Structure 1
Amino acid sequence: MPTHEQTTDADRNAEPVDITAAIRTAIVRGDFAPNQRLVEADLSEQFGVSRGGVRAALFALTNEGLVERIQHRGARVRAVPLNEAIEISEVRMAVEGLCAAKAAERVTDEQVAELRGIDEAMRTAVAEGHVLRYSELNKALHGRIIEISGQRTAAEVLRRLRAQNVRHQFQLALVPGRPNVSLAEHHAIIEAICAREPEAAERAARAHLTSVINALRSFPS
Structure 2
Amino acid sequence: MVDSSPVVSHGPTARPARLPVPAAIREGILRGEFVPGQRLVEADLSEQFEASRAAVRSALVELATEGLVERVANRGARVRVVPLEEAIEIYEVRMVLEALCAAKAAERADDAEVAELRGIGTDMEEAVAAGEVMVYRQLNERLHRRIREMSGQRTAGSVLERLRAQSVRQQFKVATTPGRPKVSLPEHLAIIDAICRHDAVAADAALREHLRSVMDAMRSSHAG
- Tell me the TM-score normalised to structure 2 length: 0.91
Q: Secondary structure at the match of 2:222?
A: coil
Q: Secondary structure at the match of 2:198?
A: coil
Write the distance in 2 (CA, Å) between the matches of 1:133 and 1:79: 26
Write the distance in 2 (CA, Å) between the matches of 1:215 and 1:52: 41
Percent sequence identity over matched residues? 61
Q: Secondary structure at the match of 1:218?
A: helix
Are the counterparts in 2 of residues 104 and 192 from structure 1 also a CA contact under 8 Å? yes
Task: State the AA in 2 paired with 1:163.
Answer: A
Query: Hey, which bits of structure 1, 4+ residues long, moved more than 4 A?
Result: none
Q: Secondary structure at the match of 1:80?
A: coil
Kindly report which structure 2 residues correspond to 1:192-203, keeping only aligned pairs within 5 A, or say none: 192-203=194-205
Matching residue of 1:164? 166
Superposition deviation, residue 45 in structure 1: 1.4
Q: How many residues align?
A: 210
2:3 to 7, 11, 14: 14
Write the distance in 1 (CA, Å) between the matches of 2:163 and 2:3: 31
2:68 is aligned with 1:79: no
Superposition deviation, residue 13 in structure 1: 3.5
Are the counterparts in 2 of residues 192 and 200 from structure 1 also a CA contact under 8 Å? yes
Superposition deviation, residue 198 in structure 1: 0.7
Pick 1 or 2: higher relative contact order, CA cutoff 8 A, min separation 6. 1
Write the distance in 1 (CA, Å) between the matches of 2:91 and 2:125: 24
Superposition deviation, residue 213 in structure 1: 1.1
Write the distance in 1 (CA, Å) between the matches of 2:149 and 2:184: 21
Give the root-mean-square deviation of aligned CA atoms.
1.2
Task: State the AA in 1 paired with 2:121.
Answer: D
Superposition deviation, residue 52 in structure 1: 1.2
| Mean Cα deviation higher: 43-52 or 185-194 | 43-52
Write the distance in 1 (CA, Å) between the matches of 2:2 and 2:147: 38
* Gap change, CA 1:60 and 1:15, over 3 Å in 2: closer
Matching residue of 1:122? 124
Task: State the AA in 2 paired with 1:75.
Answer: A
